[in-house]
Structures are given as C-alpha cells and as structure tokens.
Amino acid sequence: MKALVIGGDGYCGWATALHLSNKGYEVGILDNLARRHWDAQLGVSALTPIASIQQRIQRWKDLTGKTIDLFIGDITNYDFLIKAFRKFEPEAIVHFGEQRAAPYSMIDREHAVFTQVNNVVGTLNILYAMKEDFPDSHLVKLGTMGEYGTPNIDIEEGYIEIEHNGRKDILPYPKQPGSFYHLSKVHDSHNIHFACKIWGLKATDLNQGVVYGILTEETGMDEMLINRLDYDEVFGTALNRFCIQAAIGHPLTVYGKGGQTRGFLDIRDTVRCMELAIANPAEAGKFRVFNQFTELFSVGDLAEMVKKAGISVGLNVEIQNIENPRLELEEHYFNAKNTKLLDLGLQPHYLSDSLLDSLLNFAMKYQNRVDKTQILPTVSWHRK
Amino acid sequence: MKALVIGGDGYCGWATALHLSNKGYEVGILDNLARRHWDAQLGVSALTPIASIQQRIQRWKDLTGKTIDLFIGDITNYDFLIKAFRKFEPEAIVHFGEQRAAPYSMIDREHAVFTQVNNVVGTLNILYAMKEDFPDSHLVKLGTMGEYGTPNIDIEEGYIEIEHNGRKDILPYPKQPGSFYHLSKVHDSHNIHFACKIWGLKATDLNQGVVYGILTEETGMDEMLINRLDYDEVFGTALNRFCIQAAIGHPLTVYGKGGQTRGFLDIRDTVRCMELAIANPAEAGKFRVFNQFTELFSVGDLAEMVKKAGISVGLNVEIQNIENPRLELEEHYFNAKNTKLLDLGLQPHYLSDSLLDSLLNFAMKYQNRVDKTQILPTVSWHRK
C-alpha cells in the first residue's frame, strides 16, 4: 500500500516514514522543509545534528534497499499538491504537514495568522485533492489532545453523548484550545468532519499527546537517520526539554505550579499508532477520532522523574518553578480516554527509567550543541 | 459613543449603520466593497438599485445632518485596519465584514479557501488591533445560527452545561456547521473566545438566523438609502427569494422536502439587536453569545405563507420542491433558545401578512430588474 507522509522531514513525520517503509509500505515524503527554515529564522537548532532529507533518504536506501519518493513543496500551493498526488497516487495520506508549536503561533499577529492560514489551507487543499481525484484514499491527520483544553468532565475520543432536556445526541466533543496553533487544529477538525460528511471521504484524526523520546527501531539504525530533538522555548516540549536541561546542568523549568496534566507517549508508539490507523481505515463518510497517548502526567511529576533519573546517572538536577508564560489552569481535573488505539492492538511503551536514562545519555552526548539562551520562555500569552 | 461598522455597505451592515447613526451614535463605516465586486464577478445584482456608498452617506447627511465616516479598505490588510482604527477610535466594533454566503463558499476550492482565509484573518486582525490599541472596546460580531447545525437536542446560546460520568462543566456548545462559510464562523467563534480569555477582551457573538425584509425606519426614508435585496442562488436567502419569485411568476423553489427548520428575523430586529448588544457590552474577558432570531419556520411552511400572501394580492404562485443542492437533514428536530436578547429588551417584529404584502410589493416594483437565469441553484454540496 502506498502511504504519502506529508511533513515527513519533521520529528514525528520522519520516524513515521521510516517505520512505514520498514513495514513494507511504499512511502513518499512530501515536505516544504519549513521546519528547518523556522529554526534558522529563530536562530535555534535541534540538539541532534540532522542530515538533509536527501541524505537521509539515500542512507535509508543504502541500508535497507527501500526507496522513499521525495516531493519538496508546499501543500498550500494546490498545483504542486495535486501534481505530487497524481504522481504518487497515495492510498493513505498521512498529514503531519503543519506548523505545530503553540509558542510559535503566539509570537505575534503575523505568526498567529501564518499558523492558522498555513494549517487550515493546507488541510483544505488535501481535502479537495481527495474529493477530486482520490476519494477512496484515507486521510490520517495529526490532531492534538490540546484541542480539548482542560474541561471539568472526562475527555472522550472526539464525540460525546449529551443528554439535555430529556433528549440525546452524540455530538462533537466541545473544544477549548489554548493557543492559536491549537485553534488551527480545531478548525481543521471541523473542516475535515464536514468534508467526510458531504463527500463521503475517509479520515482519522489522531489527537496526539506530547511525544517524547528520540530513537525508534528505524531512526536508531544509523547516525545519518537520527531524528531531531528540540529543547528551545518554541519547539521544545516538556519531557525532552527536561532531559536536555538536566544534561547541561540547567534547572528544569516548570511553568507555574506544574499541576498541568497532559497525555504523553513514546515516539515508538507514535509510529505504531500511525501504522495501526492506516492498516484499519475509517469508513467512507466517517470522521474517526482517536486520542493518541499512553499515559497522563503532570508537568511537575515529570520534572521529579527526570530529576531522580538524572541523579542516578550522576547529574546534579534542580527544579525551578518559573512564571508561566501561558494562560492555562495549573491545577485541574484531567481524565482523557484512549482505548481506541489499544483496541486496535497498540502495546504501549510506558515511560521507564531506562527510557529516561537513554534520553539523558543522548542529551549528554550532544550537550555541546545546546544554546542556553534559547531555553527560557520569552513568548507570552498575556497582553502587555 | 463611537461605533465602527465593518461591512457597513452590506445588507445588515448598511441598515445597522444608519440605525446607530439615527440613535445618536458616532458612526463610521469600514468596508472593502467586496460584496458589490462579487455580484459583478457572478454576473448578478440585487433586486433593488443601490447607490454608491459615497452617495448613500451623503444623502443620509443631507436628510438628517448626521455624518458617517467612511474607510474603504480590507481588514485582512492589518496596516489599513490599524490606521483606520486609530483614526476613528471605536468604542464598539460592529463586525459584519465577512463573506457571508454558504453557496459562494461551496463553488469550488478557491472560493472555500478564500472564504475561510478572508473571514478568519479579518477577525484575527480585529482581535490583535483590540489587544494592541483598543483593549476596552467591545467587539459585536455577526455569527450565524448555522454554526449549530441541527442537533437532536435543544440549542442553547453558545454554551451548554454537560453532566458526564458524574461530573459537570459548562462548555462551548458543540458545532456542526453545514458549509465552508458556516465553518469559517465556527473558526471565528473559537478564535474570539480564546482572545477574550487570554487578553481580557470584550466580545459578543450574535448567532443570527435568516434575515428577511427590506425596510427599516432609516433605509425607508429615501430611495437613495434603499437596502440591497438579493434573490440569486448564491446570495439570496429563503424568504426574500420566495417573495421575489412570487412577484415574477417563478415557482417558489423549495430545496428537497422543505422540512429544514431555521431561525428567522425581520431586518428591523437585526438593527435593534445590534443596538442592544452595543448598549449592554460584554464583561472584560467574556465571550458572550446570543442567538439572534425571533421565530422558527420550516422552509416549506414559509413557501406556503408566501403563496397565500401572493394569491391575496392577485399573484399566481406555485411551489416547486426541487432537488436539494445542499447536504442537510430535511426533517429534523430543531429547538433553539433565543431569550437573551429578549431579556435585554428586544420587541420582535413577527412575520406578518402586512410584511409579506410589503415585500411582495417591493418585489413587484423592481421585478424588471430580475435575471431569471440566476435563480435556480447550480452550486452543489455533492461530490460529482
């Protein structure tokens, strides 16, 4: 089966492309390489030295004999998109091709507008390409658990049965996203839902939690295949960033009280979830939603775990609660469901001491690449 | 108080601008005149001959002595927007400045993308302008009842209390919009809600039903002040279009079974609702939502009412159920709440025989301006 991985040069996309290739899919990568460009604009780079996409794909071929097609261009350009689709003829369209950092979207008006236009138009273009030429293909779209916010009731997977004034209906789960980026994903979800309904398309929205980890079976085969690992204030995410902070002797920066609870998963589970979603496509006309995470942690608890693991490998680790640049509840109820991917066969890699050791060792190996001035948050959610 | 009416050259915007001016507000109109341009692109024009915005404003001044400031430009251009805001210094920002036709958004990919980018970016720009320079101003934004779709439970005003697994929360009402246009309004709602929360802005979203009627106290003063009345398949809406069809001897075109039920209101109530929302601003940090309609009708029932009224003034009126170009339920539960504007003092003009007579007479007066080839629907929601 042919799977086109849009955004296949990014953190989740690259790992997924190799995993699918390894599992026997014919894989194409479509990417505008914007993520590398944003790093350059912000003056940051990943902890890990990543090869060019062309080098990565060549090394994968040298090692495994497997070819990955490459389409470099922007999905907001429909002419480019439809030509690439017609050439590759995807059966599964795996869509990671969006601006994915909340702080990036909150830098200023331009970044907010860019994020929403980029993400919404890219996804609209994919939906129209499916409608026009690939109505039987299956869209597997990366959403985010951040679409839900932190409601005071259990978070279901995409839909909720509501009983109200003696009547019942199953409706889209209400969304309370916490940044212009998260909002863009909510917009996408509504657009995809509608396109499935009117055009009979098949789509799966994977509302993913925070991903941690660096190695997958495939990206660990060779240093030239290494994945990116971000620690900076814009693209770095909680657990990965804590490990890097521990490795370089920087205090672990917990925003606010640290009671913010989120869903987390190992990147080895990300690639497996994508595989499961592709292998078990949605029905025509259905907008299927899975919550893609394996465990819930509070940010404060994670910091404590990294501190403990760091001390056990001889690091001196401090935790610092700093002023929260975001506007979010720091103590709240959070109980999200995640059984649908488990039902399809996901066997989670739960967060373990050995994973933390491995991440810490990675971070120590590349610690000389860290620019410490990029760690503390400067982008604020607040009105000045 | 200073009220800037964005989209003040359109059907609801023009009537509102004059009404607010008449009630003593200092009024500005900001408009890119796109609505006139889209008519030209589609080769249609309103039933009524509308004067240029400059002529309209001049006549208003001649008649009443009241000045309306005019800013011609596009709110997706932030430089233009912020300059106009700084010059006018609005206390109420009345936002009608969006592409407002569902069929227009469904013409093709370009129109879908245009509608969403135009509407979402325009509103984001307003929110940033408020955050930067006008944090105490009050945004009064035109939403649509179409954001809700047709759920099988009662429709509340913006929010719903949900009890789930023994816990409760008040959450945004789940949305099931039925076109890329309606989706753009849902995107706006989420964006505005978030901006209110993080920046402490004040906003009222008026989820308006289908507006009918032509005359208000102000637009009826002089033919040069006449409002637009649309009958074409793209911009014409149910009741107004039926009256024009009756006047020219065209069958009333009911889409599908006609059981589609919607909220309706007289344009005299639209302008009064805007006035009430402005006079009673939202609290800082609150995204307030009102449902703005006065009565519920099914499309089939409306056609019957127009038929009866037409016959009583000597017209020969037929009803034709044609294939529905939209994908929507044609028989469904629909019970939407609308008490919040009534609580603020709205005294509805309910649909009456005399209103229908007046509309029919208007339509007969201008019937020679009708292009019959523009009436039947050609834009389809369905995949070919």
Query: pLDDT tens-digit profile of A151-191?
Result: 999 999 999 999 999 999 999 999 999 999 999 999 999 99
Q: Do B327 and A197 touch (CB under 8 A)?
A: yes
Please name the residues in contact with A382: beta carbons below 8 A apart, sequence gap of 6 or more: A325, A327, B198, B199
User: Which residues in A lie closer than 8 A to residue B198 (C-beta atoms)?
Assistant: 327, 381-383
Across the range A42-69, mean pLDDT stands at 97
Q: How many helices (H) and strands (E) does chain B have?
A: 12, 14
pLDDT above 90 (res A384): no
Paired tokens of B306: 């127009």
**C-alpha to C-alpha distance for A160 and A164, rounded to whole angstroms:** 12
Yes or no: say if B309 and B351 are a contact pair by the CB < 8 Å rule: no
Question: What is the distance in angstroms between the Cα of A357 and the nearest Cα belonging to chain B?
Answer: 38
Please name the residues in contact with A46: beta carbons below 8 A apart, sequence gap of 6 or more: A39, A228, A229, A230
Paired tokens of A355: 């994973």
Q: Tell me which residue of B265, B280, B196, B278 sits closest to B27, measured CA to CA.
A: B278
Pairing of strands A261-266, A210-212: parallel
Share of chain A above pLDDT 70, in %: 100
Structural element, H or E, at residue B303:
helix B299-312
Q: Find residue A305's DSSP bridge partners.
A: none
Q: How many CB pairs under 8 A join A and B?
A: 148
pLDDT above 90 (res B56): yes
Q: Tell me which residue of A226, A219, A270, A268 sits closest to A366, measured CA to CA.
A: A226
Question: What is the distance in angstroms between the Cα of A77 and the nearest Cα belonging to chain B?
Answer: 11
| Angle made by CA atoms A334, A340, A345, in degrees to the nearest 5 | 125
Give the Cβ contact number of residue B323 at 10 Å: 9
Q: Across chain B, what does the average pLDDT equal?
A: 97
Q: Do A177 and B160 touch (CB under 8 A)?
A: no
Superfamily name and number for A2-374 = NAD(P)-binding Rossmann-like Domain (3.40.50.720)
Yes or no: say if B138 and B92 are a contact pair by the CB < 8 Å rule: yes
Query: pLDDT grade, residue B133 (50/70/90)?
Result: very high
Q: What confidence tens digit (pLDDT) does each residue in B160-177 have?
A: 999 999 999 999 999 999
Structural element, H or E, at residue A106:
none
Yes or no: say if A300 and A120 are a contact pair by the CB < 8 Å rule: no
Across the range B58-87, mean pLDDT stands at 98
Across the range A144-152, mean pLDDT stands at 98
* Amino acid identity at A322: I
Q: Tell me which residue of B142, B129, B31, B152 sits closest to B78, measured CA to CA.
A: B129
Structural element, H or E, at residue A308:
helix A299-312
User: Which residues in B lie closer than 8 A to residue A162 (C-beta atoms)?
Assistant: 153, 160, 162, 164, 174
Give pLDDT, residue A55: 98
Q: What confidence tens digit (pLDDT) does each residue in B260-303 have?
A: 999 999 999 999 999 999 999 999 999 999 999 999 999 999 99
Q: How many helices (H) and strands (E) does chain A have?
A: 12, 14
Active site residue A144: yes
User: Which residues in B lie closer than 8 A to residue A174 (C-beta atoms)?
Assistant: 160, 162, 171-174
Q: Do A383 and B160 touch (CB under 8 A)?
A: no
Question: What is the distance in angstroms between the Cα of A224 and the nearest Cα belonging to chain B?
Answer: 39
Across the range B98-127, mean pLDDT stands at 98
User: What is the C-alpha radius of gyration for chain B, rounded to an integer number of angstroms?
Assistant: 20
Q: Do B177 and A160 touch (CB under 8 A)?
A: no
Q: Do A113 and B125 touch (CB under 8 A)?
A: yes
**Nearest-Cα residue of chain A relative to residue B197:** A327
Pairing of strands B26-31, B68-72: parallel
**C-alpha to C-alpha distance for A79 and A191, rounded to whole angstroms:** 21
Q: What confidence tens digit (pLDDT) does each residue in B2-55 have?
A: 999 999 999 999 999 999 999 999 999 999 999 999 999 999 999 999 999 999
Residue whose entry in the numeric block shows the structure tokens 């505005």: B192
Yes or no: say if A282 and A340 are a contact pair by the CB < 8 Å rule: no
Question: What is the distance in angstroms between the Cα of B287 and the nearest Cα belonging to chain A?
Answer: 12
Mutate to test the interface with A, among B187, B380, B381 (most CBs of A within 10 A): B187
Nearest to A153 among B162, B197, B199 (CB): B162
Give the E-state strand segments of chain A in sequence order.
2-6, 26-31, 68-72, 92-95, 138-144, 159-164, 167-172, 202-208, 210-212, 252-255, 261-266, 287-292, 295-298, 319-322
Give the Cβ contact number of residue A259 at 10 Å: 15
Distances (CA, A) of B191 to A176, B42, B142: 10, 31, 14
Nearest to A198 among B175, B190, B382 (CB): B382
**Nearest-Cα residue of chain A relative to residue B159:** A174
Q: Across chain A, what does the average pLDDT equal?
A: 97
Q: Do A153 and B168 touch (CB under 8 A)?
A: yes
User: Which residues in A lie closer than 8 A to residue B171 (C-beta atoms)?
Assistant: 151, 153, 174, 176
Question: What is the distance in angstroms between the Cα of A120 and the nearest Cα belonging to chain B?
Answer: 8
Q: Do B383 and A200 touch (CB under 8 A)?
A: yes
Paired tokens of B217: 């106290």
Yes or no: say if B86 and B19 are a contact pair by the CB < 8 Å rule: no
Q: Do B169 and A190 touch (CB under 8 A)?
A: no
**C-alpha to C-alpha distance for B164 and B157, rounded to whole angstroms:** 20
Share of chain B above pLDDT 90, in %: 99
ipTM: 0.98
Q: Find residue B29's DSSP bridge partners.
A: B5, B70
Compute the CA torsion angle A40, A270, A97, A95 (nearest 10 deg). 170
Question: What is the distance in angstroms between the Cα of B32 and the nearest Cα belonging to chain A?
Answer: 20
Give pLDDT, residue B240: 92
Give pLDDT, residue B212: 97
Q: Write down how long chain A is.
A: 384
Paired tokens of A205: 């929205």
Q: Do A153 and B174 touch (CB under 8 A)?
A: no
**C-alpha to C-alpha distance for B78 and B81, rounded to whole angstroms:** 5
**Nearest-Cα residue of chain B relative to residue A135:** B383
Q: Tell me which residue of B102, B146, B98 sits closest to B120, measured CA to CA.
A: B98
Compute the CA torsion angle B128, A101, B193, B18 (nearest 10 deg). 30
**C-alpha to C-alpha distance for B23 and B29, rounded to whole angstroms:** 16
Nearest to A167 among B112, B153, B174 (CB): B153
User: Which residues in B lie closer than 8 A to residue A193 (C-beta atoms)?
Assistant: 176
pLDDT above 80 (res B77): yes
Give the Cβ contact number of residue A133 at 10 Å: 12
Nearest to A169 among B112, B153, B198 (CB): B153
Catalytic residue from among A25, A141, A148, A185: A185
Paired tokens of A142: 């990366």
Give the E-state strand segments of B236-331 in sequence order.
252-255, 261-266, 287-292, 295-298, 319-322
Q: Do A199 and B112 touch (CB under 8 A)?
A: no
Distances (CA, A) of B26 to A13, B14, B140, B141: 54, 14, 16, 18
Sign of torsion over alpha carbons A350, A355, A360, A363: negative
Catalytic residue annotation of B: 144, 181, 185
CA A379 to chain centre: 20
Across the range A206-227, mean pLDDT stands at 97
Yes or no: say if A111 and A104 are a contact pair by the CB < 8 Å rule: yes
Compute the CA torsion angle A89, A93, A95, A97 (nearest 10 deg). 0
SS3 call for A384? coil
**Nearest-Cα residue of chain A relative to residue B168:** A153
Across the range A332-343, mean pLDDT stands at 98
Question: What is the distance in angstroms between the Cα of B156 and the nearest Cα belonging to chain A?
Answer: 10
Q: Tell me which residue of A74, A288, A98 sits closest to A180, measured CA to CA.
A: A98
Yes or no: say if A13 and A7 are a contact pair by the CB < 8 Å rule: yes
pLDDT above 90 (res B384): no
Q: Do A153 and B176 touch (CB under 8 A)?
A: no
Q: Do A124 and B112 touch (CB under 8 A)?
A: yes
Q: Do A172 and B177 touch (CB under 8 A)?
A: no
Is residue B349 packed enough to be buried (19+ CB in 10 Å), middle (13-18) or exposed (0-12)?
Answer: middle
Nearest to B200 among A167, A183, A383 (CB): A383
**C-alpha to C-alpha distance for A306 and A164, rounded to whole angstroms:** 45
Give pLDDT, residue B188: 98
Q: What confidence tens digit (pLDDT) does each residue in B178-229 have?
A: 999 999 999 999 999 999 999 999 999 999 999 999 999 999 999 999 999 9
**Nearest-Cα residue of chain A relative to residue B200:** A383
Q: Do B169 and A183 touch (CB under 8 A)?
A: no
Question: What is the distance in angstroms between the Cα of A340 and the nearest Cα belonging to chain B?
Answer: 19
**Nearest-Cα residue of chain B relative to residue A119:** B117
User: Which residues in A lie closer than 8 A to residue B383 (C-beta atoms)?
Assistant: 131, 135, 198-200
Paired tokens of A141: 């779209």
SS3 call for B55? helix
